[in-house]
Amino acid sequence: WCVGCVWWVCGLKMKLISAIVAISAVELLKVFINSGAYPSDELLWKVTIHVTFVMSGVLFALTDYLNSKTQSH
């Protein structure tokens, strides 16, 4: 999606997804500190959501990398 866009838009997108992953990691750490207060299914959902954020960040980075390697026409 970054083909033909301004270079800072791609960087801003990566900063945003990085911030979302960092916030999710902090929240997950808070949950793990008090893991006895949460049922196991809720812990599983929180971990699943965090992994989803991480994977989408990796995929965004991969697409930006691939787009930077292609030549514009």
Which tens digits make up the pLDDT trace of 20-64? 999 999 999 999 999 899 999 999 999 999 999 999 999 988 988
Question: How buried is residue 22: exposed, middle or buried, by Cβ count under 10 Å (0-12/13-18/19+)?
Answer: exposed
Count the neighbouring beta carbons within 10 Å of the beta carbon of residue 10. Answer: 19
| pTM for this entry | 0.74
